[in-house]
Amino acid sequence: MKKTIFYHDTDCGNVVYYANYLKYFEEARTLYMAERGFSVPALMQRGLYFVVARQEVEYKYSVRYADVIDVSTKVLEVSDIKIVFENIITNQNGRLCTKGKTTLVCVNSSGMPTSMGADVKAAMSPAA
């Protein structure tokens, strides 16, 4: 996913505010899942909700106002109730800026862990 950094993404030093990386990871994960046939609204209609259970971020190099970044997404691990995603952000020069690992857990409308279903699990499989 390509993204241009706007002024509202940055802090007073024109560097991306650290928490905004989580939004970029979320956008990339949402697109990743949709490209595999599972939009968030469709999953919600099935009573499946994915919540963040764990988040890791490594900040390697500053991203600044007007930079164009690439947010790559891949799945590292899938089980019946969880998906572990990795995101890597590079700038327009290909320099590694940020790495993140996000663990999502599938829950039902009551917030209890539930199976995501064989079809979702297969589509999110690292081999898919």
Which are the catalytic amino acids?
Answer: 11
**Burial label, 121 (beta-carbon count in 10 A; 0-12, 13-18, 19+):** middle
What Cα–Cα distance (Å) separates residue 12 from each residue in 17, 67, 101?
A: 9, 16, 27
Asked whether 17 and 83 are in contact (CB, 8 A), the reply is no
Distance CA 117, CA 46 (A): 10
